[in-house]
């Protein structure tokens, strides 16, 4: 299940500390509205369960549940995201949801089955490029 995914070291990512609360609120608003898998365990996203998102109290925790480990600087700004799973999930949903809160010019690159995928964050939008 799921395609193999590997994150590339070429990335730049930032969410300002003052935007984290609203980004968390946006992620939590996904519950019961955008789940892509419906099976015996209930409705969920690939590798992410709504009950786990519902329990978090910070954006950092929410990103970690979604298998993206954030790094922060001394000001509390998120300055990096590291993928902690080697399978493709519903990352598009997450990235489109947090895009309004991500600093323009940020991007993340992964390789999935010999294709390079880049999520570019520009002016509140997330644009996915596949090469």
Tens digit of pLDDT per residue, the chain (131 long)? 456 767 777 889 999 999 999 999 999 988 766 555 455 655 545 567 777 888 999 999 999 998 899 999 999 999 999 988 766 667 888 999 999 999 999 999 988 888 898 999 999 999 999 99
Residue 30 backbone dihedrals phi, psi, to 5 degrees: -70, -25
54 vs 97: CA distance, rounded Å: 16
Q: 54 lies in which domain range?
A: 5-130
Q: Kind and range of the H or E element at 72?
A: strand 68-72
Domains of the chain: total: 1
Contact 19, 94 (CB under 8 A): no
Contact 72, 79 (CB under 8 A): yes
The token duo for 109 is 């690159």
């Amino acid at each position: 299940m799921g395609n193999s995914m590997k994150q590339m070291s070429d990335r730049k990512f930032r969410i300002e500390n003052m935007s984290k609360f609203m980004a968390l609120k946006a992620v939590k608003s996904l519950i019961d509205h955008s789940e892509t898998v419906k099976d015996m365990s209930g409705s969920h996203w690939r590798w992410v369960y709504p009950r786990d998102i519902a329990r978090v109290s910070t954006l950092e925790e929410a990103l970690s549940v979604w298998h993206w480990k954030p790094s922060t600087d001394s000001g509390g700004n998120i300055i990096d995201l590291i993928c902690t799973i080697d399978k493709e999930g519903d990352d598009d949903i997450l990235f489109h949801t947090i895009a309004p809160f991500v600093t323009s010019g940020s991007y993340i690159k992964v390789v999935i089955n010999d294709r390079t995928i880049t999520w570019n964050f520009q002016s509140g939008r997330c644009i996915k490029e596949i090469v």
